[in-house]
Amino acid sequence: MPATATARPIVNEINVTPMIDVLLVLLISFFLMQKDRKVLPTSVAPPQKSGRSDEIQLVLELASSGGFRLNGQPIPDAELETQLAAVFAVRPVKLLFVDAAGDRTYQEVVTAIDRARGAGAQVVALMPAPDRYRPLH
């Protein structure tokens, strides 16, 4: 007698067990994210201008003739660290913008930034030269 294989009947139902597992994982991760969520203020008041000198941004210029200028005032090379340290000592935000002339070398700019960091600058930002870039349009 020949052996007949009993075939499983075809089921026309979707197996929802994997979908429920995925749904539970997403639900748990949503609840965990809600627990760590911070409430941000809807509006922020603009800072009040009091006219204090520590609100003026500091710009260290590396002039093409050599030497340095701090907000337009010339600084001798030997006194750069001491004058920057004196300025940063009274400022709560120790931010310095560096504007280098196009003929200054990369090494000179990096050295000036390093000297400013040694004098107390915590954040140093480089100012782009607009004449070096072409418009995109």
pTM for the structure as a whole = 0.56
Strand order in the sheet with 123-126: 73-75, 68-70, 58-62, 95-100, 123-126
Q: What is the pLDDT of residue 13?
A: 80
Kindly report, residue by residue over 99-126, the tens digit of the pLDDT: 888 888 888 889 999 999 998 888 888 8
How far is 99 from 130, CA to CA, in rounded Å?
Answer: 11
Kindly report, residue by residue over 47-106, the tens digit of the pLDDT: 555 555 556 788 888 888 888 988 888 888 888 899 999 998 888 888 899 988 888 888
Q: CATH fold of 57-131, please?
A: Nucleotidyltransferase; domain 5 (3.30.420)
Domain limits of the chain? 57-131
How far is 62 from 19, CA to CA, in rounded Å?
Answer: 63
15: three-class secondary structure by DSSP: coil
Residue 71 makes CB contacts below 8 A (sequence gap 6+) with: 56, 58, 59
